Structure 1
């Protein structure tokens, strides 16, 4: 038995990468951003992408009408989380937090058998204004949908527990129409996959320096050879670009540590003043655990724990250094996002855009395992 699905706030469809494998055919999707919508449509040519603002009544009416025509029985909705995210400003009553209203409206009108509603854990304690009252988002969802749907008991889930080499905690509501005889809970946890297991066998890459190729080759004589070997693995395993000063700081930063704790080569301004930073900025990842949560700024060394773990080595002048003073390559990100390695990223998509949409995506295998737990019963 296969189900027709609708994806709301679909981004570029990272969550949907394996849904066909577990019996869900996404036939309709909605995304506000033109570039993301175009990316989605190129990857999922079988789905009809409605590009538009779901808060617009006419757009929402079009989504509902087409969902009914296409017999949609499954909805996955992933409203943007920046208003609640630990990495964001978290303003009280951030307007983005109200996007859940529009997802709920579509669900109530389409009446699918099953719904997957995903967001950050902070959603559980985020307040919104509703009918003149201030209530928590989960309370609102259950008031609106609890009459027709059963909810899962545990809603917090870690991607690392389901074959994804990334921590990434999420809050996911799983809804089943009350008249149906199915129980939808999270599946049994799986063994954690460390970064060593996930990307440890990939060829090392030297970064491309912003100062130019001549400076790059002067600092990294093996740059071109390493790049060539990397591209033999995948066209997406190519060197990220960084400034020399940041690269030098990271060359002196051990695996799992932050450069802010270095005695000499620490993040500093031109006059030598230390840069004020969080203890997870300028931090190398650890080999012996899954990747930290991938964020939108995963291409920036100074961002949250996004630098390659590296390997210790001794330079010609006897200095202890660490290889791969760079962020993860796009290919390595595909692995830690658990995307299929042949996932068809459009040629026109630039690196900054790809990194941003990855940072906002739900790991593909997490969704596959959770939805598979349901469709096996069907």
Structure 2
């Protein structure tokens, strides 16, 4: 293509043609256009040709530029509560058992019996990782979290845990040494550096400073010398490259080895550990070299289909997590302040009203009921009797990725998202709705963390008296 990405953007703006409309006209995806204009990718010859042809079609360009938005103003209605939909959202047999399991996490967390092993949490967020480890019997002695509002949620639920710092990069070596003296030895360090620098949902910049945060994680490992360390991140970290063209995942593994740890990377899906959600993640399990055990994970507790060899239960579903909650349509609320539906514009309700489970408004046969932009993963219903889709921080946006309730026509409530993430109802969430959504969407599911913690706990029982090498 004769134009660079920068020139394409300038030409497009000169024509008053939006990126979405150029995507519609050329057939080249909007995310590809965006990446090209930002200089992140090169276009294929087919894409270049398609854009050239589109821009040369002056009549079509003029028509699109003049086309008015489908909806000039937002009108709001509360949709009717159809009896057949309300009855379809009936309570499943697995619902009470699941609520019992996650409520049990909080009961165990509040059990302050003596003889517990210890941990500290880095990049702790609202405390999902910590809750799982605390429920397994770990005393989470300290935590680090950058976001002040998330720290408040964490402190509500872990009042005796020491706030080590906000910005981990500001905890210099002298402060770190002081914290080691005050907190004492710990058996495990847990944490997941922010994933924006690694995930495809971000810009995936190899120079993003967040990509180096694991090195600050390692400073804590060096200072405390725990027997185990667990580092969680998005699965797409496995494809992220560093400035030299190597893989970031290898940088992390090699760094741990250089610091005296055996380490192994595992790809996990939270649904295989009783969490009612498709959530692909990676876990690094590191073990100090003097500890006579290899890095490992527990066997899955749940599986899709019948796996008699694993003796695992069927994966839990959206309904197992949420079917006891009050049925709500757009704009409705319940006694639980966290179970309140966002009010959506009438035209969006219209797009989605007849969309079946597992399908998107983009799949509508009537073009007038298709959203003007986005992908077929947006404006998409989940499936009632399947594991929920990945809970993200944007779960309250009906236009987001797979954020539409399977039966009602609305986005997910905070309570539904918390349940799907395996937070017990008694876990305290404070602050703005945005803060709470961010905390829940970024959290490690407590139930997944619990099974990992129990597995590590079994290993620790055989090496409790082992001391870190000098």
Q: 1:275 to 1:107 in 2, by over 3 A?
A: same
Give the structure-1-normalised TM-score.
Answer: 0.82
If the length of structure 2 is used for normalisation, what is the TM-score? 0.67
Aligned equivalents of 1:43 and 1:280: distance in 2? 35
Mapped to 2, the partners of 1:101 and 1:188 lie a distance apart of: 30
Following the alignment from structure 2 to structure 1, what is the Cα–Cα distance between the partners of residues 367 and 432?
32
SS in 2 for 1:15: helix
Equivalent in 313, 324, 329 of residue 206 of structure 1:
329
2:146 corresponds in structure 1 to: 32
Question: What's 1:337 paired with?
Answer: 421
1:265 Cα deviation from its structure 2 partner: 7.6
Q: Within 5 Å, which residues of 2 pair with 1:1-378?
A: 1-56=115-170, 58=172, 61-70=174-183, 71-129=185-243, 134-147=245-258, 148-152=260-264, 155-191=266-302, 192-208=315-331, 223=332, 227=333, 230-231=334-335, 234-264=336-366, 274-310=371-407, 324-346=408-430, 349-377=431-459, 378=461
Large movers: runs of 4+ above 4 Å: 265-268
2:250 is paired with a residue whose SS is helix
Helix, strand or coil for the counterpart of 2:143? Answer: strand
Q: CA–CA distance in 2 between the matches of 1:137 and 1:65?
A: 31
Q: Which has the higher helix share?
A: 2
Alpha-carbon distance change, 63 to 43 in structure 1, aligned in 2, over 3 angstroms = farther
Aligned counterparts of 2:174 and 2:195: Cα–Cα separation in 1: 24
Count of residues paired in the alignment: 332
Query: Would you say the 8 A contact 1:113–1:177 is kept in 2?
Result: yes
Q: Write the deviation string for residues 62-110 of structure 1: whole angstroms up to 9, x where unpaired.
A: 2453134312221012100011113222223322211112112221222
Q: Distance in 2 between matches of 1:287 and 1:81?
A: 29
Answer with 158-167 or 139-148: which moved more. 139-148
Give the deviation of 1:134 after TM superposition: 4.9
Give the CA RMSD over aligned residues: 2.0
Does the 8 Å CA contact 2:164/2:179 hold for their aligned counterparts?
no
Would the aligned equivalents of 2:132 and 2:453 in 1 still touch at CA under 8 Å? no
Contact between 1:155 and 1:172, CA under 8 Å: does it hold in 2? yes
8 Å Cα contact 2:271-2:278 kept in structure 1:
yes
Structure 1 residues 245, 112: CA separation in 2 closer, same or farther (over 3 Å shift)? same
Distance 1:109 1:134 in 2: 30
Give structure 1 stretches of 5+ with no counterpart: 209-222, 269-273, 311-323
In structure 2, distance between residues paired with 1:84 and 1:350: 27
Task: Looking at secondary structure, tell me which structure has more strand per residue.
Answer: 1
Q: Verify the 8 A CA contact 2:378 2:399 in the aligned structure 1.
A: yes
More deviation in 255-264 or 243-252?
Answer: 243-252
1:115 aligns to what SS in structure 2?
strand
Partners of 1:187 and 1:9 in 2: CA distance:
24
Shift of 1:303: 0.4
Cα deviation for residue 176 of structure 1 reads 1.3
Gaps spanning 5+ residues in structure 2: where?
Answer: 1-114, 303-314, 462-470
Q: Deviations over 1:205-260 (max 9, x none)?
A: 0111xxxxxxxxxxxxxx5xxx4xx42xx332222232222222222221111011
1:259 and 1:365 mapped to 2: Cα distance?
A: 33
* SS in structure 2 at match of 1:18: helix
CA contact (8 A) 1:249 1:265 kept: no
Q: Distance in 2 between matches of 1:68 and 1:288?
A: 51
Secondary structure of 1:279's aligned partner? coil
CA contact (8 A) 2:319 2:385 kept: yes
Give distance in 1, aligned partners of 2:176 and 2:187: 14
d(CA) in 2 for partners of 1:190, 1:57: 38
- SS of the equivalent of 2:246 reads strand
